[in-house]
Amino acid sequence: MVNYRRVFIPGGCYFFTLTLKDRRLKLLTEQIDLLRDAFHYALARYPCHIQAISVMPDHIHLLVQLPNDTTYFPKLIQSIKSRFSLLIHQHVGKNHKSIWQSRYWEHCIRDERDWLMHINYIHRNPYKHHLVKFVKDWPYSSFHQYVQRGILTDSWQGEELDGYFGE
């Protein structure tokens, strides 16, 4: 059996990929309001700052900054997944125990370059998956907040990155 090791750093910054078990489903975007509810529910219990996010039809990429004195990201992720599963069961009737892959990808951000690389990856992901022609066209991304704050331009397309990001 594989022995999973996680890095727990109080106040750490983490990149996550959460994936549906059936990659053909589009539940995350088709039921975006239920997913938002699940995030609000989880963040009320496990406060943190979501620095970047992209919700794809079958997976989510997010970059999370934990509060200085906490390492509770497994509870945060489990809360998001279980709340969304319950809401799907209640509103759509789908078997809520089989929606998500049992595990998730987690990466502790090491430095500013690593942080920037993951933000780039998150915002470019819909383009990478050929869901849009331009990054700005994907509605389920924090990219639009980065443009509003003047951090990125509306025409930003990012650059293709080498590496493994949990997909």
Give per-residue pLDDT as tens, 38-59. 999 999 999 999 999 999 999 9
User: Is the confidence at residue 161, as pLDDT, over 90?
Assistant: no
- Contacts (Cβ under 8 Å, ≥6 apart) of 100: 18, 19, 20, 21, 81, 85
Query: Phi, psi at residue 64, to the nearest 5°?
Result: -125, 130
Give the active site residue among 104, 140, 146, 164.
140
Tokens encoding 138 = 């994907």
Residue 32 has pLDDT above 80, yes or no: yes
Domains and CATH numbers, the chain: 13-111 (3.30.70.1290)
* Residue whose C-alpha is closest to residue 8's, from 73, 59, 86: 73
Annotation says 4 is catalytic: no
Position 158 scores a pLDDT of 80
Q: C-alpha angle 98/101/107, rounded to 5°?
A: 155
Residues 104-132, mean pLDDT to the nearest whole number: 95
Radius of gyration over alpha carbons of the chain, in Å? 16
**C-alpha to C-alpha distance for 98 and 105, rounded to whole angstroms:** 18
Q: Are strands 59-65 and 13-19 parallel, antiparallel or unpaired?
A: antiparallel
Q: Which of 73-77, 79-83, 145-149, 155-159 has the lowest mean pLDDT?
A: 155-159
